[in-house]
Chains A and B, each alone.
Chain A
Amino acid sequence: MRLRSRRSVQHFANPLAALDRQAGDPLLTARLDRGSAVRAAQRLNRAAGTLAIAVLFDSAMEHYRGSFHNRAMYTPLVSASLSLLASAHGTADPRSGAHKLRDGIYAFAGLAGIAGTAFHVYNIGKRPGGFSWLNLFYSAPIGAPMALSLSGMLGFLSERVRDNPPGPPPLIFGLPAGRVTAAMTSAGLLGTVGEAGLLHFRGAYHDPAMFLPVSVPPLAAALLAESAVGRSRVRRRFTTWWLRFTALLGFAGVGFHSLGVARNMGGWRNWSQNLLNGPPLPAPPSFTGLALAGLAALGLMEDHPDE
């Protein structure tokens, strides 16, 4: 994998490729810190696991609500469970080097998420009105399966970070791992913001707190994007704190959603219905998982500056 990555970088005629070449220069290259690479990988495992928990419970509840009328609806439960196990294993694993089974599980999660998205898109498009707001609101949620893909992606990135040899900063596909992780996490955050934005729009933003997930994470995504392309030797305190805030918001979202459940008829006394009808409790921690990945990316960049 590493060799393939090295070869692929030859085709990059862009500044990042130049950075990669600079990384080979002993005067400009940071000192190898294999331990910090593993630590970064573990943090990514943790992020992937957090996302997997969110997907596992969310898909379990939503697909239970849908009576598992299609056997494929069990897929995210299986995949997210495996991703969760792999993440726990990776978090506890102090060794460097990619783990084949974890790799496979994460790749499966990535693909399952993509397949799930295709299923959901099909589900939306076949209803009267096609890709209308109504169907985006109430058919299978278009963005939800991508959280599984994101979990797989973070896990996959984790394995790539682990899989770097002593010497230059860790690379992913020949690019600095910190920057790649920051860029991918930024994109994942924006996608998740889109999903939250759509569903909170469905809820008419009836509570001002519903604006939080469409205002805090987008800034986190922007800050991460800046980190991905900006200077690496800069200590990004504000970005760090904003990502921590975003991670906290993900957990706080569970609290907000539990208040939302309480506002349905019968409140928590009627939990068996309202857990399904109210705002999904497991969804907001997706932001936590992605924010943790962003923090791991920042850590990688700080530990392994590439300029």
Chain B
Amino acid sequence: MATTTRKRCGRTGVSDDPQHVPRARDGRAPDVFRHGGWVPMRCYGENDEVDFAIVGTGAGGGTLACRLAEAGFSVVALDAGPYWRPLEDFASDEHEQTKLYWTDERIVDGENPLQLGSNNSGKSVGGSTVHFAMVSLRFRPEWFKARSKLGYGADWPLDWREMWDYYTEVEQALKISGPVRYPWGPKRPRYPYRPHELNAAALVLAQGAEAMGIDWTPTPLATVSAPRGLSPPCVYRGFCTLGCSTNAKQSVLITWLPRALAAGAEIRDLAMVGRVEVNEAGLATGVHYHREGAWHFQRARNVVVAGYAIETPRLLLNSATARYPDGLANSSGLVGKNLMAQSNQAVWGLMEDEIRAYKGPPSLSMTEHWNYQDRGKDFFGGYCYMSQGPLPALWATTQAGAHGLWGDALMRDMEKYNHQVGLKIVGEMLPQKRNRVTLADEKDQYGLPIARVTYSWCDNDKRLIEHSLRFMTQALEAVDARDIWRQEDDTCHLNGTARMGDDPRTSVVNADCRSWDISNLWICDGSVFPTVGGVNPSLTIQAIACRTADRIRALAARGEL
């Protein structure tokens, strides 16, 4: 068996296929910084009762795995996706790179069914950070008390000042390249790396913002503007949302996970967890996972679910037992509920000058004006908007879909690709119980019930979207863009479905991401967000994971795990 495995892993020169054969095994894991390279990995037996079995290795699970391993806990982190070596596995080909998305079958419904796949999921070790746009923004402090201070949504059980320190830790860990002075919010430490040079699309945003009299800034990005270890500075290849093949992008795959391995964590790729096992005492005992055509069981003293806002509730609901017939950690009935996408509408236009928006990271400049300015709004929440750089296939899809062009009209518009410019929001959508993840009767390739995702916009969501489209249209008109049109139906990041709070009746986990119902079951990803804010969530997810790790260490020290 061992010999066969080594052959499959490529030691004898047989090419490996990370999408079908696990790479992380037999005491080694892929070295993400070297072609064909390996790094040693501590391995645990399935009968070893590890301190933590973590489901998912993205922004939540990967970060937590690193921090817990560095704190001395034994950790096995499982991910359904492949373990990539970006230098050798990522092509400059939009279709090839869809392999990074979670495209397993799901059912979507509701008044505004979500488009799942590209910009709201990932199936890779490192999670969706392998293809995220790297936008790394802090929450506006008031959002942590959205209900008390701003009158909508729900309060978080976290204090923004504590989060400010964890944001700093994550920004340092990812060497965020950001502006020297950030125009909004309380003082923050200087970003570790300097901002990137702006492309023409980003300059159009800047000119539009100045014409509208609002602040703008180079976007804080998790791709380095100067060398960092084995990461070269960004070469502005522009394939960021399809996988960075140079390792300039500071994804979880190349930041937290190498640290986790060095600290003794084991990472199991192509390992789909289908069920969390709970004993008669009501405690989690480990996870059942599917790998290499068979189901396995990993024993653990604690289980952390970090599968993001769809897979996390799916797993919890699918782990129902006689004792927990509605799924695990679900005494509040809120598991799967309050799903929040973020609105992702855009305004597009043509510039007289050549723009070539595909050069460099897609969102090099942005404004948070409408996150911090409450006057002049007819809606709760906020939004930021950013410059855009869609690659050709995505742009053709957008033109054919959202713009409704086809045939000759589509061909003619595609010829204007190099003059295209766009502004796109990441907007706050409000939590609603009717927006939810449930289990369908249909089964997936693992024999697990697939997720049904139900989503509808509320009136507030619609008002925010309309406000943003109106404002961005004016901003494009101010820079003499022509043929302006609105892309009105798009969403991105998913959060909620296992919200944190102070009250077991109205939340799934407490501030430490510990479930109220099962003391050794934790949830650590975007699912725990009570509200989503108007910024990309990855930095906040990682900050919460860092805080959770510190809390777990403190609880363990007091014997309260």
Chain A positions within 8 Å of B, measured between CB atoms, are: 127-129, 133-134, 137-138, 201-204, 206-207, 260, 263-266, 273, 277
Contacts and interface: CB of A to CB of B under 8 A. Distances in A.
B526 interface: no
Nearest to B209: A128
A147 to B, nearest CB: 22
A134 B179 contact: yes
A263 B203 contact: no
B218 A204 contact: no
B235 A277 contact: yes
B3 to A, nearest CB: 36
Interface string B137-167: 0000000000000000000000000000000
Interface string B197-210: 11000010011001
Interface centre among B206, B207, B232 (most CB of A within 10 A): B232
A263 B203 CA distance: 28
Contacts of B369: none
Interface centre among B179, B194, B228, B248 (most CB of A within 10 A): B194
A134 B225 CA distance: 12
B530 to A, nearest CB: 35
Nearest to B365: A128
B233 interface: yes
Nearest to B193: A204
Q: What DSSP secondary structure best describes chain B's contact surface? A: loop
Contacts, number: 57
A91 B6 CA distance: 68
Contacts of B197: 134, 137-138
Interface of B: 175, 179-181, 192-195, 197-198, 203, 206-207, 210, 216, 218, 225-228, 232-233, 235, 246, 248
Contacts of A129: 206
Contact of A206 (B181, B206, B210, B226): B226
Contacts of A266: 232
Nearest to B234: A265
Nearest to A130: B210
Give 4 closest A-B pairs by Cβ, nearest first: A128-B206, A263-B227, A265-B232, A138-B197
B177 to A, nearest CB: 8
B207 A128 contact: yes
Contacts of A265: 232-233, 235, 246, 248
Contacts of B232: 263-266
Contacts of A273: 235
Contacts of B175: 204
B356 to A, nearest CB: 15
A204 B206 contact: no
Contacts of B179: 133-134
B203 A133 contact: no
A204 B225 contact: yes
Contacts of B193: 204, 206
